[in-house]
Amino acid sequence: INHIAVLTSGGDAPGMNTALFAIVKTAQQQGIKVSGVRKGYEGLIDNDLVTLDCKNLQQSMHLGGTVLKTARSERFRTETGRQQALATIEHNNIDALIVIGGDGSFRGCLWLSHITNIPYIGIPGTIDNDIAGTDYTLGFDTAVNTSMQCIDNIRDTAESHNRVFVIEVMGRDSGYIGTYAGLTSGADSVLIPENDKDIDDLLLKISDYHSEHAFIVVVSEGDENGVEYVCEKITAVNSSIDLRVTKLGHLQRGGNPSAADRMLAIKLGVHSVKALCAGESAKMVGILNNTVSNTSMQDVVKQHVINEELQGLLSIFCR
């Protein structure tokens, strides 16, 4: 392999820049050139490539977001778009591809593999931690730390006024951030899409709530109840409650990656290049039981299982 192209696609996640640095550093040692494709698959269609410089990336490896920029590309979902992407690959003599993104981005790779045999490797990057084949995805740990700190701050004021706070955290259809942020911030209740009965537990707990304390409810963005409905229900069972709502929103997506996310990015970045050099293709690299591993792209699906252990913790602390 002489020339690898790397792109970041779908939602940005802290750790993507660290992974880019790790990829270029490893490739450089193997004498491999690395081009960065700007704006995900859009850049592959538009031949929007930059040569990645190790020194520059070293200076941005600690930053959130992605220096390559990212996009959701509708054009890449079309045959014409993918043919244009193939033309860019051939025109630039690219002989391997690394895609950093979520399951949608990996589905894009699978489509590309229908028209070209170019080897490719995926690195899971999404704050939602909802991809099979890895225990953790890039950005999840950072997003949890950010949410946890925000909830800590909210608790300070909530305790001072004996208020009930309903706090929405990210997770498009996964309760991972909600579960981790809720547990680590001592929330009284966590509502996640994986549990449909949790609102009943919450309403039972809060119906006769008159306390000299704060009461923190964490609601996953993907929970079917939604924060507005949860507030309505709470007020209906206990109208004396001093209720406030905070949606943490996009601040959970940004920020410097945590040490754990940087280590994950370094391990997966290095391994992605080594895997390509070893002749691997159509694999997602991930961490399973603390070991770097490859999972066939065919088996990489969106997965958001809150396992028994986590469910047990939720039932002890948040019900």
E strand or H helix that includes residue 82 = helix 79-91
Residue nearest to ligand ADP (CB): 104
Q: Which of 46, 48, 103, 128 is catalytic?
A: 128
Nearer to ligand ADP, 79 or 152 (CB): 79
In 10 A of CB 255, how many CB atoms? 17
Rule CB under 6 A: which of 58-77 touch ligand ADP?
Answer: 72-73, 76-77
Distances (CA, A) of 204 to 182, 201, 233, 236: 19, 5, 11, 12
Tokens of 30: 């193997």
Strand extents, DSSP E, the chain: 3-8, 33-37, 49-51, 96-101, 120-124, 164-169, 189-191, 215-220, 243-247, 283-288, 291-296
Tokens of 100: 């950093």
We find the least distance from the C-beta atom of residue 50 to ligand ADP, in angstroms, to be 19
Judged by CB under 6 A, does residue 147 bind ligand ADP? no
Size of the site for ligand ADP (CB under 6 A): 17
- Check if the beta carbon of residue 164 is closer than 8 Å to that of residue 243: yes
Stretch that binds ligand ADP, among 56-64, 97-105, 202-210, 264-272 (CB under 6 A): 97-105
We find the least distance from the C-beta atom of residue 299 to ligand ADP, in angstroms, to be 16
We find the least distance from the C-beta atom of residue 74 to ligand ADP, in angstroms, to be 7
We find the least distance from the C-beta atom of residue 253 to ligand ADP, in angstroms, to be 11
We find the least distance from the C-beta atom of residue 100 to ligand ADP, in angstroms, to be 9
User: Which residues, other chains included, contact 71 with Cβ-Cβ below 8 Å and sequence gap of 6+?
Assistant: 9, 39, 40, 41, 42, 43
We find the least distance from the C-beta atom of residue 10 to ligand ADP, in angstroms, to be 2
Judged by CB under 6 A, does residue 12 bind ligand ADP? no
- Check if the beta carbon of residue 176 is closer than 8 Å to that of residue 140: yes
Tokens of 11: 């939602």
Nearer to ligand ADP, 101 or 178 (CB): 101
Pairing of strands 3-8, 33-37: parallel
Distance in angstroms (rounded) separating the CA atoms of residues 296 and 121? 10
Pick from 161, 199, 169: nearest CA to 185: 169
Pick from 266, 293, 264: nearest CA to 25: 266
Judged by CB under 6 A, does residue 10 bind ligand ADP? yes
Nearer to ligand ADP, 182 or 222 (CB): 222
Q: Which of 4, 32, 41, 179 binds ligand ADP (CB under 6 A)?
A: 41
Nearer to ligand ADP, 72 or 233 (CB): 72
Nearer to ligand ADP, 75 or 233 (CB): 75
Distances (CA, A) of 169 to 80, 124, 190, 193, 236: 38, 21, 10, 12, 23
We find the least distance from the C-beta atom of residue 108 to ligand ADP, in angstroms, to be 3
- Check if the beta carbon of residue 227 is closer than 8 Å to that of residue 166: yes
Stretch that binds ligand ADP, among 7-15, 182-190, 250-258, 288-296 (CB under 6 A): 7-15
Assess whether 128 carries a catalytic annotation.
yes
x/- site string to ligand ADP, residues 99 to 128, per CB under 6 A?
Answer: --xxxxx-xx--x--------------x--
The catalytic residues are: 128
Per CB under 6 A, residues contacting ligand ADP are 9-11, 41, 72-73, 76-77, 101-105, 107-108, 111, 126
